[in-house]
């Protein structure tokens, strides 16, 4: 086990916003984003003046009078006006998260409700509950060779879940934390090891960690000194790990050795204009797609860390992203947490047409 402490400038740039409901008119059976000039030029919706929220404050972006889809630094705002986000799975999930492509469908969690849900990967539909826990459920990965079984970041640790929601706890490393801490986002690397982060309920700075669960079921603390740990996401060979410290607004990139220990850690990207990096995935071209909480957008970064595209969304708090292996769409979970009277489609799963794909979720490979 290698344990590396990270520290960084803490920001309070994220938070809840309120939207003008008139921006999101009903259309057919779902909700469609109206691509006004402000939405496309700023890369996110205009939600009014800055407000207090569960993760700090977020300011209203200025709106240029003559928008251009390509900014001066080459960043593209996408998609086109005739390819706007739609609701893929309706819902009022307080904290949707952990979007993963498993066996041809999307699975995701409603963290604080402890629910694991699924929805068709081929057409929009109503989510179906797979199981429910009596503790928060951050994210899951399938267990190889055991259909219907999952490894999960849940409660204060890592557990193997049966189809009925029964839990076999591998470890509860945050059980005796100085401040109440829960597990958050998680995913398997290409080698079949499960990685998951934690965070304090009150977002105590530095209370979060990143853990790795090896094939033998042992759980190791790999990174410390983080606050809200999100991601992680891996390169195709598993050598590069991307992990967000959401409160700091920073995405870190770690080079890993064969055993999954960090050899070095660098700052890959930093959110400087409001919002906070949340769930993420790496596509088949090595680009990183990141949900930006509090900014109503998804960012796409090139392998060198250059921000190359911004996708505006009709919900202020996107939480995780998933690209199906067949390509063609980006699926985004969203949250209603801290948004009293939140406008639709906050809490739903959105779909955006994109020209990108990513591998299906890797399963946990127990020894």
Catalytic residues: 278
Distances (CA, A) of 142 to 1, 61, 91, 133, 138: 24, 40, 24, 16, 14
- Output b/e per residue, 61-97; b: 16+ Cβ within 10 A: beeeeebebeeeeebbbbbeeeebbbbbbbbebbbbb
State the first-to-last Cα distance of the chain, in angstroms, to the nearest integer.
Answer: 18
C-beta atoms surrounding 178 within 10 Å:
8
Residues 6+ apart with CB under 8 A from 340: none
For CA atoms 53, 323, 359, 301, the dihedral sign is negative
Element (H, E) at 262: strand 262-270
Alpha helices in 183-300 (DSSP H): none
DSSP per position, 275-305: -EEEEEEE-TTS-EEEEEETTTEEEEE-TTS
Sequence-ordered strand ranges (E) for 155-207: 157-161, 167-171, 181-188, 194-200
Residues 6+ apart with CB under 8 A from 176: none
The closest of 358, 200, 238, 196 to 287, measured between CA atoms, is 358
Q: How buried is residue 224: exposed, middle or buried, by Cβ count under 10 Å (0-12/13-18/19+)?
A: middle
Phi-psi region of 15 (alpha: psi -120 to 50; beta: other; left: phi over 0): left
């Amino acid at each position: 086990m290698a344990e590396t402490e990270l520290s960084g400038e803490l920001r309070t740039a994220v938070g809840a916003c309120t939207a003008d409901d008139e921006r999101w008119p009903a259309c057919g059976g779902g909700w469609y984003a109206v691509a006004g000039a402000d939405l496309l030029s700023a890369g996110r919706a205009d939600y009014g003046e800055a407000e207090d929220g569960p993760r700090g404050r977020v300011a209203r972006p200025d709106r240029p009078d003559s928008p251009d889809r390509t900014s001066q630094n080459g960043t593209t705002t996408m998609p086109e006006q005739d390819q706007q986000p739609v609701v893929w799975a309706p819902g009022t999930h307080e904290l949707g998260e952990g979007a993963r492509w498993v066996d041809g469908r999307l699975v995701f969690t409603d963290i604080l409700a402890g629910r694991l849900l699924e929805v068709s990967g081929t057409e929009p539909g109503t989510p179906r509950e797979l199981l429910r826990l009596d503790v928060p459920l951050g994210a899951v990965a399938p267990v190889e060779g055991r259909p219907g079984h999952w490894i999960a970041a849940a409660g204060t640790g890592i557990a193997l879940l049966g189809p009925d929601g029964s839990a076999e706890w591998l470890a509860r490393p945050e059980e005796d934390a100085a401040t109440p801490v829960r597990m958050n986002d998680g995913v398997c690397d290409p080698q079949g090891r499960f990685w998951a982060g934690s965070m304090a309920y009150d977002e105590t700075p530095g209370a979060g960690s990143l853990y790795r669960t090896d094939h033998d079921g042992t759980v190791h603390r790999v990174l410390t000194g983080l606050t809200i740990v999100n991601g992680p996401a891996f390169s195709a060979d598993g050598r590069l790990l991307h992990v967000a410290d959401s409160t700091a607004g920073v995405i870190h990139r770690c080079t890993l050795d064969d055993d999954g220990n960090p050899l070095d850690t660098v700052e890959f990207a930093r959110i400087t204009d409001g919002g906070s990096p949340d769930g993420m995935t790496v596509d088949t071209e090595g680009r990183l797609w990141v949900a930006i909480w509090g900014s109503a957008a998804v960012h796409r970064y090139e392998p060198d860390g250059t921000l190359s595209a911004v996708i505006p969304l009709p919900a202020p708090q996107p939480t995780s992203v998933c690209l199906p292996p067949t390509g063609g769409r980006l699926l985004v979970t969203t949250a209603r947490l801290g948004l009293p009277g939140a406008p639709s489609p906050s809490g739903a799963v959105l779909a955006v047409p994109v020209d990108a794909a990513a591998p299906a979720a890797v399963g946990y490979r127990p020894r």
